[in-house]
Amino acid sequence: MATVTFNGATRFYPNTDRPAVAGLDLEIADGELLVLVGPSGSGKSTALRMLAGLEPLDGGQICIGDRDVSTVRPRDRDIAMVFQNYALYPNLTVAENMGFALKQQKVPKDVRREKVEEAAGILDLVPFLDRKPKNLSGGQRQRVAMGRAIVRSPQVFLMDEPLSNLDAKLRVQTRTELAELQERLGVTTVYVTHDQVEAMTMGHRVAVLKDGVLQQCDTPQNLYHHPQNEFVAGFIGSPAMNLVAITPDGAPALAGVELNLGTADVDQTEPITVGFRPESARIGSTGIPGVVRTVEDLGSEVFVHVVVEHQGASKPLVVKTKPPFEAKLGDQVHIDLDGPMHVFDAAGARTATTEAALR
Amino acid sequence: MSGHETHVVGERRWVDGVLGVVAWLVGALYFFPILWMLVNSFKTELEANGPPSIAFSPTAERYSEVVESSSGVLSFTEAFRNSGLVTVASTIVVLLLAIPAAYALTIYPVKKWRDVLFFFISTKFLPLVASVLPLWILARELNLLNTRLVLVILYTAMNLPLAVWMLRSFFQEVPKELIEAAEIDGASLLGQLRSVILPIALPGIAATALLCLIFAWNEYFFAVQLNAADGQTVPIWVAANVSTRGNFIAKLSAASVLASLPVVIAGWLAQKRMIRGLAMGAIK
């Protein structure tokens, strides 16, 4: 077990001008589960592969513990990786798959078997030890891939979207099991996903990447409540935060209704973007006028999509409300705001967060 | 089988029928010489040289004649043994060289890997006739003329480019993640090759080996130029029957059947593997 440090780690893919990962600085504590999240092409998988040694570094360094592993071969890094498609050896049985790394380390057969059986016990794989991967279900294959990693007791676990090939229900269940297992083993883990729910529920901390650049690395709560910039604000949370661009035209207003930005020091000559989450808004009798477009009733909560006229264009907003909620398409409603509102400057950085209220 | 027949949508039934008949006709045309050879090999010389007929009492005498006779320098069995040795030895050497080469070109390709591949295949562009004189002189100077070794070397060189090309395409079908997983799991290059790539690419390797075996077994030109005497292979032996003797069609047929047999048997045995191997790129 060890810490992991990315120190200005940079990777250019051949024949590209823009780095896939640009000067990544990250410190991952011993035993921590850090999630790398971002849209496709954000460099999250590349960053993980750099840590694995499967992608070379074009700048900076990566340390596992006190050891600079930047130029160390993958097989000498003492890491274990779970691949998205599991990458199980099709010609080997479950037991052989799980014991493969130990066999490479020349661990005696009886010790190997003991460790494989122990891991199989943890993962409920004992009845399947003699099967080939093709005779397993998706969930079982995923567990074998996990088993192959834990049998080794490595310094670091690397997981590249390990749940994305499972169906929705199994994914939620496995998510919890995986987090518990990591907690129990206490092995430093770097986990890549594009699913922000997975990131929020599993990560001790979550690092959000965009275009190879780290946007913010913080606890899930801080990412949600104190996003450092517009991208993080829009990326974290489902449905996404309502982000409205306001071009300077007197006092800041949303769909003609003046906003109370409280103590926020807003330059009224610069364009800004304001953001508020669906739960910070409610359907009321006063406030911003709009027209109902869709109502998503999930049973426990209802998301109402409302279109407002803002600075000469139609702007869709989402409001979260409690059931029962009845509205028809085209109904005239008003949106009132009573939660935090973030203000982002023209460059996208958050400049203020206020208690939102309409003036 | 009765009841409904499945037809491709929009296809007309009579077109199917006509195409089927044409296919069978062409197939029969291709197969006829082989059938003729097979039939003749069971006739007496008199029957074989007379008007074509299928009314005859089959005899295996020609086969025993072939096996016992020594038309040229060697007996048929000796030539057969030579062929087997040269074919198997060259194929083993080809695989030993081509597997690491194809692996390197697939997994850790050099920058100019396209040029490397082109170079391999370009060695097959030159007409064989143009290379035979230098090869003959080299062989003479190295005291390799009329040895089996010279054929092993030449057949290895002849089949190597093809084997590298084929194996490379098979190795490319091995999912990259598997190799990465093995690398992370601590397997050495040789370990990755042995425990991950070879088992998965086995059908492809079998297909490659089979083609090399067949090409080496059937090779005539180099054999006749560099090794027509002591190290005679089966094709030379069969051809020697034509040129030195009179009209022994039945015996020649029997010899030809025997010469074809190993290839046919190997092809039959490896059929499934080979088709799977050759189709590896198409189906997952």
Residues of A in contact with B203 (CB under 8 A): none
Give chain A positions within 8 Å (CB) of B110: none
- Indicate the pLDDT class of residue B108, thresholds 50, 70 and 90: confident
Contact at CB, A101 and B178, closer than 8 angstroms: no
Residues 6 or more apart in contact with residue A125 via CB below 8 angstroms: A94, A98, A119, A140, A143, A144, A147
- pLDDT, mean of residues B8-35: 87
Report residue B2's pLDDT band, with 50, 70 and 90 as the boundaries: very low
Q: Which of A287-291, B2-6, B68-72 has the lowest mean pLDDT?
A: B2-6
pLDDT for residue A355: 78
CB within 8 Å: B183 and A105: no
Which residues, 6 or more positions from A324, have their beta carbon under 8 angstroms from its beta carbon?
Answer: none
Contact B182 A148 (CB under 8 A): no
> Of the candidates B105, B187, B93, which has an alpha carbon nearest to the alpha carbon of residue B148?
B93
Nearest C-alpha of chain B: how many angstroms from A74? Answer: 5
Residues of chain A found within 8 Å of residue B180, distances taken between Cβ atoms? 52, 54, 74, 81, 83, 87
**Residue B14 pLDDT greater than 90, yes or no:** no
Q: Looking at residue B236, what is its pLDDT?
A: 86
Which chain A residue is nearest to residue B176, measuring alpha carbons? Answer: A87
- Residue B160 has a pLDDT of 94
Query: In chain B, which residues touch A (CB < 8 A)?
Result: 175, 177-178, 180-188, 191, 195-196, 199-200
pLDDT of residue A263: 66
Answer yes or no: do A87 and B200 touch at CB < 8 A.
no
User: Does B187 contact A100 at a Cβ distance shorter than 8 Å?
Assistant: yes
Going from the C-alpha of A57 to that of each of A23, A67, A191, A298, A349, the distances in angstroms are 10, 16, 20, 46, 29
Closest residue to A100, CB basis, from B175, B185, B188: B185
Q: Is A212 left (phi over 0), alpha (psi -120 to 50) or beta?
A: left
Per residue in B231-257, pLDDT (tens digit) is 788 888 888 777 555 678 888 888 899
Average pLDDT of every residue of chain A: 91
Rounded Cα gap, residues A216 and A218, in angstroms: 6
Average pLDDT over residues A45-68: 94
Chain A partners within 8 Å of B196 (Cβ): 89
Contact A202, A179 (CB under 8 A): yes
Q: Which residue of A has its CA nearest to B192?
A: A104
Is the pLDDT at A8 greater than 50, yes or no?
A: yes
Chain A residues whose C-beta sits inside 8 Å of any chain B C-beta: 52-54, 73-77, 79-81, 83-85, 87, 89-92, 100-101, 104-105, 148, 152
**Closest in A52, A85, A90 to B200, CB measured:** A90
Tokens matching residue A110: 């009886």
State the pLDDT confidence band at A76, using cuts at 50, 70 and 90: very high
Residue A294 backbone phi and psi in degrees, to 5: -145, 155
The SS3 call for residue B73 is: coil
Find out whether A257 and A287 touch, Cβ atoms under 8 Å: yes
Structure tokens given for A320: 């979260």
Distance (Å, rounded) from C-alpha B172 to C-alpha B107?
A: 8
pLDDT tens figures, B166-187? 999 889 888 888 999 999 999 9
Tell me the shortest Cα–Cα distance from A79 to chain B, in angstroms. 7
Could you give the 3-state DSSP secondary structure of residue A200?
helix
Q: Would you say residue A268 has pLDDT above 90?
A: no
Closest CA to A245 of A262, A230, A260: A230
DSSP code of B195? I
Q: Which residues pair with A335 in a beta bridge?
A: A283, A288
Q: What is the mean pLDDT of chain B?
A: 84
With CB atoms and an 8 Å threshold, state whether A81 touches B184. Answer: yes
Q: Can you give the pTM of this predicted structure?
A: 0.81
pLDDT for position A128:
94
In angstroms, the separation between the Cα of residue B205 and the nearest Cα of chain A is 16
Q: Which residues of A touch B191 (CB under 8 A)?
A: 104
Determine the pLDDT at residue B183: 92
CA A258, A261, A267, A271 torsion-angle sign: negative
Helices marked H in chain A: 44-52, 94-104, 109-122, 138-150, 168-185, 196-202, 220-225, 230-235
**What is the band of A14 on the pLDDT scale with cuts at 50, 70, 90?**
confident
Would the pLDDT of B3 be above 60?
no
Lowest mean pLDDT among A105-119, A319-333, B148-162: A319-333
pLDDT band at A319 (very low <50, low <70, confident <90, very high): very high
**Of the ranges A27-36, A45-54, A200-209, A267-276, which one carries the lowest mean pLDDT score?**
A267-276
What is the predicted pLDDT for the residue at B232? Answer: 84
Query: For residue A87, which residues of chain B lie inside 8 Å, CB to CB?
Result: 175, 177-178, 180-181
pLDDT, position A51: 96
pLDDT of A37 reads: 95
State pLDDT tens for residues B42-101: 988 878 777 777 777 888 888 888 888 765 567 888 888 999 999 999 999 999 999 999
Contact B180 A74 (CB under 8 A): yes
CB pairs under 8 A between A and B: 59
Q: Nearest-CA distance from A13 to chain B in Å?
A: 14
Cβ separation B186–A104 shorter than 8 A: yes
Cβ neighbours, 10 Å, residue A70: 16
Q: From the candidates B185, B196, B197, B284, which should be mutated to test the interface with A, based on the most A CB atoms within 10 A?
A: B185
Q: Which of A79, A92, A105 sits opposite B184 (nearest CB)?
A: A79
Q: How many residues does chain A have?
A: 359
Note the pLDDT of residue B244.
54
Which residue in B has a C-alpha nearest to residue A79's C-alpha? B184
Chain A partners of B188 at a C-beta cutoff of 8 Å?
Answer: 75, 104
pLDDT score of B4 more than 70: no
Q: Which two tokens stand for residue B125?
A: 């562009």
DSSP code at position B193: I
CB contact under 8 A, A74 and B177: no
Q: How close B200 comes to chain A (CA, Å)?
A: 7
Site of tokens 């390709």: B109
Chain A residue at shortest CA distance from B111: A14
Q: How large a percentage of chain A has pLDDT more than 70?
A: 97
Contact B98, B163 (CB under 8 A): yes
Cβ contacts of A77 on chain B, cutoff 8 Å: 184
